[in-house]
Structure 1
Amino acid sequence: MQKTESKHFWGFPFSHFSYFFIWATVYGYLTLWMEQVGHLNGTESGAVFSMMAGISLIFQPIFGVVSDKLLFKKNLVILISVVAIFIGPYFQWVFLPLLHINSFLVAIVTGTFLSFVLNGGVSVIEQYVQRASLANKFEYAHSRVGGSVAGVVASLIAGRLFLWSPDSIFWACTVAAIILTGLLLFSDKIDMDNASAAGDTSNSLDMKTVMSVFKIKNLWVLAIFYMGASAIFDVFDQQFIIFFKTFFHTAAQGTLVYSYMTSGQTAIEFLLMFPMPWIINKIGSKNGLIIYGFITCIRILGSALSPTWGWVVFFRLLAGLEMPLLLTSIMKYIAGAFDIRLYATVYALASNFAKQISVFIFSSVAGKLYDVIGYQHTYIWMGVLVFVITLFAAFFLKKEDKVQAGEVEAPKDTPTPANDSDN
């Protein structure tokens, strides 16, 4: 379904840019910073990521329900952006002193802090913009282009900042968070005349309705898919830069090539975000999710079996296709297969909560396996797991309602389909 970008569109891609600049910088270089500055080994770095995933399990269900209640109120998104401002000060002055006290303590504190902003906070940011897209009549993916641009900029800037001064990457995150806060306060506006398109939950959403989502079989199938595909995608990427550097004679050379590679990946992602809504409208959001799963499997197994860094780069560039597929498909799929009033709750539970359970488990397991059997063998196990889970989802994930998902226009004089809250 074609949508015309309203006058309230442009603030949202800039907000996406600011937030995902922080995301790309932290996830792209935190492992490297912990290795070179904090001198953490694979197991200790994995513990930090496990804590980020584990503690977000507390935040995500709460954030989902609160977001559905707040609807277009900005209290929670602004709180997340304000907390993100402290990323620079934390890594400059707090992380290393905590590490000297106890490595487990630093994992807990870092995990709590970053999971609030990133692992837990991402669903709040994403569902807010998705609902804004329904009210303001623009495609969510077109706003998410800002996040893709952020990935390109972050990989180009953060790599050089890291080589100049490792701590400076976190201060760049602080600057981005200040910009994000300003955008949320003064720029992002909602067309309230059309707010009902995103569901009026302010009075009708009660705890009984929220709890009813756990009876929906399709929620569990979607959650299993995310636990086995998207979660492994994240775990695979956590320490990927360490694996990539093994193909080079010097760490600096590997870091620089990694920077160019991720820039290329996010450039592909940026370009594909424009046609992806049209593509998903044609093939269906369920099919988009399944294709994403199989591409993820190919990328992981291909990286494990690559003989040279050139092949690793090739498979890494496939991620430029993965993210537009996933982001566009999941937003449309949840809108088309579940009750729109529970949008943020379903997104938080199936797309983030379940995913982070898997990340919590596999981050530590993968970190240990990297130290014991090496990256290649660990990646092979990951790829096989993604294949099996994607095959499962292909058979058991419910087909979405194309009209409700916004993939096709409703025929004239035809009532809007009822939101699905059963099976």
Structure 2
Amino acid sequence: MDTKDLSSNKMPVTNEKKNFWGFPFTHFSYFFIWAVVYGYLTLWMEQVGHLNGVQSGMVFSMMAGISLIYQPFFGVISDKLLFKKNLILTIAVAGMFVGPYFQWAFLPLMHVNSVLVAVVTGAFLSFILNGGVSVIEQYVQRASLANHFEYAHSRVGGSVAGVVASLVAGRLFIWSPNSIFWACTIAAIILVCLLLFSDKINMDNADVAGDTSDSLDWKTVLSVFKIKNLWVLAIFYMGASALYDVFDQQFIIFFKTFFHTAAQSTLVYSYMTSGQTAIEFLLMFPMPWIINKIGSRNGLVIYGLVTALRIIGSALSPNWIWVVGFRLLAGLEMPLLLTSIMKYIAGAFDIRLYATIYALASNFAKQISVFIFSTLAGNLYDSIGYQHTYIYMGIFVLIITVFALFFLKKEDPVQAGERDENGKILS
């Protein structure tokens, strides 16, 4: 069953744009938290928490595993709420407690039991990040449909957040490791204010984002599991996007092996991630036009190929200069993935179930894979080393990408917002 309601999914052709600027700042404040946590949590756990590779992997596994509880409910609730901010505000308020948690709770819990700290940290951070990201993303995507702007242009704010986070957090970490988490608290306060006072929806066009007030019931929601393409997309995400995250979890530890001092590696890492996110920022502007031209399905396949190249290339790098070069490819990966997946789900599925599809096929399936591979990767890092582990990861991503090339169905370009009703590429 391929549930699609084309009559309710026609994309507007007007170029009128309203209420845009609040959303890039929303993306900025949220993804600043994301960039800091995922960029420096492993280093903090190693140097401040004194966790080994297996224990750090367990924390990330719990973040992924517990988010599996959140994801299905967050998706359905988001589809029911549409533009109501109850859930997204709850997530933003939870983000305000990142600083207090790592300042006063993490280490005492670690002294009790390493499994306990992994479970509590996983439940807390996955509510904000692994689980909450789909809520943030689908909300802005729906806002982009109602307000007539490209989602990727709002997501530029997230790229800028990555640049700022890498520049600021590295220096904050050297000065005082705990301060990076208090910076997250400040960003969460800003996010709450933006959601309350800035982000406005052009309700005259709200129907284009899917009217679910009366038509969305549990029978309709459960029908998504009968869609073959949902499972193909989920498998692709489990293989390609999840391994992208697992690869990055302890990448900073691998990167340190190329340097003589921890401070030098941290500083170079900061500049490298700044360059990566600067590339990401620049590519976010033309990427919607590129994806409109090549198609969002092809964009996903290219993303998988680039990811495999980056992972294998990093494993075979003879020095840190080569590692930096391959790392910079991530600046291409994220614009490809973020623009492609948003357009693909809109073009290949019933838009009334947008958040549910995004939560299940993208985040839920991805977190299952991250949950499995985080601890496995941690064990492999300790037993066979980073290089050999990365080679296995890269080959796996390549196999999954070839699978998607043959089995992922083509999207409707009009419904996806890649073409107008006359077949013309949208700019």
Q: Same fold by TM-score, threshold 0.5 exceeded? A: yes
> Which residue matches 2:87?
76
> Which residue matches 1:128?
139
1:100 correspondence with 2:105: no
Q: From 27, 32, 47, give the equivalent of 2:38.
A: 27
How big is the shift at 1:7? Answer: 3.0
2: distance between equivalents of 1:217 and 1:372? 38
1:46 correspondence with 2:64: no
> Which residue matches 2:212?
201
What's the secondary structure of 1:38's corresponding residue? coil
2: distance between equivalents of 1:351 and 1:13? 22
> Which residue matches 2:378?
367
How big is the shift at 1:296? Answer: 0.1
Q: From 420, 423, 427, give the equivalent of 1:409.
A: 420
Distance 1:3 1:295, change over 3 A: farther
1:146 correspondence with 2:146: no
2: distance between equivalents of 1:61 and 1:128? 16
Where do 5+ consecutive residues of structure 2 fail to align?
1-10
2: distance between equivalents of 1:411 and 1:261? 44
| Counterpart AA for 1:128 | Y
1:185 correspondence with 2:202: no
- Identical columns (%): 83
How big is the shift at 1:203? Answer: 1.4
Q: From 56, 62, 72, give the equivalent of 2:67.
A: 56
Distance 1:226 1:185, change over 3 A: same
> Which residue matches 1:17?
28
| Counterpart AA for 2:80 | K
How big is the shift at 1:4? Answer: 3.9
What's the secondary structure of 1:109's corresponding residue? helix
1:381 correspondence with 2:405: no
How big is the shift at 1:411? Answer: 3.0
The CA deviation string for residues 369-394 of structure 1, in whole angstroms up to 9 with x for no partner, is 00000000000000000000000000
> Which residue matches 1:220?
231
> Which residue matches 1:230?
241
1:137 correspondence with 2:148: yes
Contact 1:8 1:188 (C-alpha < 8 Å) held by counterparts = yes
The CA deviation string for residues 183-204 of structure 1, in whole angstroms up to 9 with x for no partner, is 0000000000000010100111
Contact 1:64 1:346 (C-alpha < 8 Å) held by counterparts = yes
Contact 1:223 1:350 (C-alpha < 8 Å) held by counterparts = yes
1: distance between equivalents of 2:122 and 2:54? 15
What's the secondary structure of 1:407's corresponding residue? coil
What's the secondary structure of 2:402's corresponding residue? helix
What's the secondary structure of 1:243's corresponding residue? helix
1: distance between equivalents of 2:177 and 2:105? 15
| Counterpart AA for 1:233 | Y
1: distance between equivalents of 2:314 and 2:194? 39
Contact 2:347 2:415 (C-alpha < 8 Å) held by counterparts = yes
After TM superposition, list the pairs within 5 Å mapping 1:233-272 onto structure 2: 233-272=244-283
2: distance between equivalents of 1:185 and 1:83? 15
> Which residue matches 1:418?
none
Q: Which moved more, 1:331-340 or 1:3-12?
A: 3-12
The CA deviation string for residues 317-354 of structure 1, in whole angstroms up to 9 with x for no partner, is 00000000000000000000000000000000000000
2: distance between equivalents of 1:378 and 1:64? 33
The CA deviation string for residues 48-76 of structure 1, in whole angstroms up to 9 with x for no partner, is 00000000000000000000000000000
Contact 1:141 1:276 (C-alpha < 8 Å) held by counterparts = yes
The CA deviation string for residues 77-105 of structure 1, in whole angstroms up to 9 with x for no partner, is 00000000000000000000000000000
> Which residue matches 2:7?
none
The CA deviation string for residues 132-159 of structure 1, in whole angstroms up to 9 with x for no partner, is 0000000000000000000000000000
> Which residue matches 2:338?
327
> Which residue matches 1:349?
360
How big is the shift at 1:275? Answer: 0.2
Contact 2:315 2:391 (C-alpha < 8 Å) held by counterparts = yes
Q: TM-score, normalised by structure 1?
A: 0.97
Where do 5+ consecutive residues of structure 1 fail to align?
413-423
Contact 1:3 1:138 (C-alpha < 8 Å) held by counterparts = no
Q: From 311, 314, 326, give the equivalent of 1:315.
A: 326
Distance 1:395 1:113, change over 3 A: same
1: distance between equivalents of 2:221 and 2:196? 29
1: distance between equivalents of 2:209 and 2:324? 40
1:156 correspondence with 2:174: no
| Counterpart AA for 1:162 | F
| Counterpart AA for 1:59 | Y
Q: TM-score, normalised by structure 2?
A: 0.96
Contact 1:3 1:139 (C-alpha < 8 Å) held by counterparts = no
2: distance between equivalents of 1:56 and 1:242? 25
How big is the shift at 1:3? Answer: 6.7
2: distance between equivalents of 1:163 and 1:118? 24
Contact 1:303 1:311 (C-alpha < 8 Å) held by counterparts = yes
> Which residue matches 1:420?
none
Q: From 271, 283, 299, give the equivalent of 2:294.
A: 283
What's the secondary structure of 2:76's corresponding residue? helix
2: distance between equivalents of 1:204 and 1:212? 13
What's the secondary structure of 1:176's corresponding residue? helix
1: distance between equivalents of 2:144 and 2:16? 9
Figure out how many residues of one structure are paired with residues of the other and give that number: 412
How big is the shift at 1:309? Answer: 0.1
1: distance between equivalents of 2:217 and 2:84? 18
